[in-house]
Amino acid sequence: MALKIRLARGGSKKRPYYTVVVADARSPRDGRFLEKLGSWNPMLAKDDAKRVELNAERIQHWIDNGAQPTDRVLRFLAEAGLAQRAAKNNPEKALPGKKAQERVKERAQKAEDAAAAAAEA
């Protein structure tokens, strides 16, 4: 059985509240889980101590037994010092799209042509 440490959504519409649970990877997001390990309230300020609450002892137990945390939960664990998260780097993500790059080249070419025409005249 593949186990995941993941978030289960609670709360009402536009007022999310998540519980950190360990569940079978095949079970639905808000469905059956084995144990509740903590909570995350994104409505609270980022510096609030109650924004993310984790049961470190139980999380470590489940990780030792093969449970894999999801990306978001791994961020919380890294902040708490319970796990290492590899830094991700995608420098191409910040580049403009293909059409935008073509427009920039066209503008540069037009400016270059205008400068050449002004130099000749």
pLDDT of residue 88: 80
Same structural domain, 101 and 42: no
* Amino acid residing at 33: F
Q: Say whether both 62 and 10 belong to one domain.
A: yes
Assess if residue 85 is contained within a domain.
Answer: no
Residues 17 and 15: their CA atoms lie apart, in Å, by 7
- Residue at token pair 């403009």: 96
Confidence of residue 85 (pLDDT cuts 50, 70, 90): confident
Q: Is 52 a member of any domain? A: yes
Quick one: tokens of 93?
């993500």
Instruction: Determine phi and psi for 45, rounding to 5 degrees.
Output: -65, 150
Residues paired with 99 in a beta bridge: none
Name the band, by pLDDT with cuts 50, 70 and 90, for residue 104.
very high
Instruction: Provide the pLDDT confidence category of residue 92 given band limits of 50, 70 and 90.
Output: confident
Q: Are residues 66 and 106 in the same domain?
A: no
Q: Model confidence over 4-32: pLDDT tens digits? A: 999 999 999 999 999 999 999 999 888 89
Claim to verify: residue 55 and residue 113 sit in the same structural domain = no
Is the whole model's pTM more than 0.85, yes or no?
A: no
Pairing assessment for the beta strands 35-40 and 52-54 based on DSSP bridges? antiparallel
Residue-level pLDDT at 120: 80
CATH of the domain at 64: 3.30.1320.10
CA 94 from chain centre, in angstroms, equals 17
Q: Residue 52: exposed, middle, or buried by beta-carbon count in 10 A (0-12, 13-18, 19+)?
A: buried
Question: What's residue 94's pLDDT?
Answer: 82
Q: What is the mean pLDDT of residues 52-67?
A: 93
What residues make up the domain containing 51?
3-80
Token pair, residue 113, equals 């042509």
- Distance, in Å, from the CA atom of 86 to the CA atom of 89, rounded to the nearest integer, reads 10
Please give the Cα distance from 79 to 58 (Å, whole number): 17
**Which of the four pLDDT bands, split at 50, 70 and 90, describes residue 44?**
very high
Check: CB of residue 38 under 8 Å from CB of residue 19: yes
User: 95 and 41 share a domain?
Assistant: no
- How many structural domains compose the chain? 2
